[in-house]
Amino acid sequence: MPAFSFTIEAECSQSWARAGTVLTPHGAIPTPIFMPVGTQATVKSVSPEELRAAGAAIILANTYHLMLRPGSQLIHEFGGLHEFMRWDGPILTDSGGFQVFSLGHLRKLSEEGAAFKSHLDGSPHTLTPESVMRIEYELGADIILPLDICAPYPSSPWEARAAMERTHRWAERALAAKEGYNPEQTLFGIVQGAFEPELRRESARFVGNLPFPGLSIGGLSVGEPKETMWELLRCTTPELPREKPRHLLGVGSPEDLVIGVGLGMDMFDCVLPTRVARHGGLFTRAGRINIKGARFRSARGPIEEDCDCYTCRTYSAAYVHHLARTEEQLYYRLGTIHNLRFMLRLAAELRASIIAGTYPAFRDEFLARYTPASEQVREVQREKWKAARAHRA
């Protein structure tokens, strides 16, 4: 049995949506799928059992944070991330590149790789395409990503091309280095190209033709308008090989998931659902609500009437409101469980609609009903989070 496979079970005739199954050594992943982010070897505030109960099929962990603390070697000595954090399902690790590039003056980039200083203690480190393969081998995730360069928004066409071409050279170095490590791990390629449609097409063709069993689309959702992101995806997808699963890196609000699926994406990860939950923002079919709002003070029903999550099955919205207002730790858990379940149910419904041939109607209905956070709210959040992003994303 190969360590990794992807089979497509249904394709939408009116969009690029597809339903499939990714097989990994730690289990099957039905796609489309949302992947909760467990930055420091824990999805903030929830246990592995709660992740399972919410329907999580795969989670993501961050190489940058884990290499610094507790260190990839220590995790390796404990049998890898699965054993260390007691999550026996599939795991994906990023390359650490995104966080390192966000460090600004703390890092120095060259053809060899990226030298940087730890945000924790200032200690010097270097990431190269080769060292990242070693670190991710030690972490032991099922799916791993190569070091890439995420160009900032905005970037000049010249910067964008330079970053893309270096990313391509690093992709080839990563593939060569990966040979020496665990064949049970699967290395995805990363498509870049910043905000230039032509570069996105070129990168999709180049990386898509390398022997990567799956592809991640990087460098999006870094500050550009949403419409720009979708436009760039529209240029990218047609150039990607059909048979490889496609992961849209760092993207994953409810509406992004619904739209992204139609643009041919299979896998999504984002801290947004868990992060906004901790700030009181909870997802419902009608849109994002703020559970701290006075209207929930005496709300007898659950957060959402037909939600089957632990929070909604157990507690009134009034109690969740009380916990959120008093900043009780149980709130963070209850809010996180609700939003994760929302995302995972949404992914399952998207999959079912693709199989049933009704994805376009599902998408249109969802978007008509769902009120996302307004652009203004989003902007405030973006600014708030930007500073923290490099270190905590």
Give catalytic residue positions.
94, 269
Dihedrals phi, psi of 283, to nearest 5 degrees: -85, 140
Q: Say if residues 25 and 207 touch (Cβ distance below 8 Å).
A: no
Does residue 391 bind a second copy (CB under 8 A)? no
Beta-carbon contacts of 344 under 8 Å, excluding residues fewer than 6 positions away, are 34, 54, 55, 56, 57
Q: Which stretch binds a second copy (CB under 8 A): 42-50, 151-159, 238-246, 362-370?
A: 42-50
Nearer to a second copy, 134 or 391 (CB): 391
Is the Cα torsion angle 367, 223, 154, 175 positive or negative in sign? negative
Q: How far is the CB of 88 from a second copy (least distance, A)?
A: 12
Does residue 74 bind a second copy (CB under 8 A)? yes
Binding test (CB under 8 A) with a second copy, winner from 7, 27, 86, 286: 86
Does residue 290 bind a second copy (CB under 8 A)? no
Q: How far is the CB of 73 from a second copy (least distance, A)?
A: 10
Segment (H or E) for 34: strand 33-35
Distance CA 74, CA 92 (A): 18
Q: Say if residues 171 and 148 touch (Cβ distance below 8 Å).
A: yes
Binding residues for a second copy restricted to 313-332, rule: CB under 8 A = 314-316, 318-319, 321-323, 325-326, 328-330, 332
Q: Say if residues 61 and 38 touch (Cβ distance below 8 Å).
A: yes
List C-alpha distances in Å: 266 to 34, 60, 88, 125, 363.
9, 15, 22, 34, 15
Binding test (CB under 8 A) with a second copy, winner from 21, 47, 118, 290: 47
Q: Say if residues 7 and 25 touch (Cβ distance below 8 Å).
A: no
Does residue 242 bind a second copy (CB under 8 A)? no
Q: How far is the CB of 28 from a second copy (least distance, A)?
A: 24
Does residue 77 bind a second copy (CB under 8 A)? yes
Q: With contacts defined by CB under 8 A, how many residues of the chain interact with a second copy?
A: 34
Binding test (CB under 8 A) with a second copy, winner from 23, 24, 29, 45: 45
Q: Say if residues 99 and 62 touch (Cβ distance below 8 Å).
A: yes
Nearer to a second copy, 33 or 75 (CB): 75
Binding residues for a second copy restricted to 292-311, rule: CB under 8 A = 297-298, 300
Segment (H or E) for 268: strand 267-269
Residue entry with tokens 């049998």: 79
Q: How far is the CB of 38 from a second copy (least distance, A)?
A: 10
The number of CA neighbours under 13 Å toward the Cβ of 142 is 24
**Can you give the binding site for a second copy, defined by CB under 8 A?**
40-42, 44-47, 65, 69-70, 74, 77-78, 84-86, 297-298, 300, 314-316, 318-319, 321-323, 325-326, 328-330, 332-333
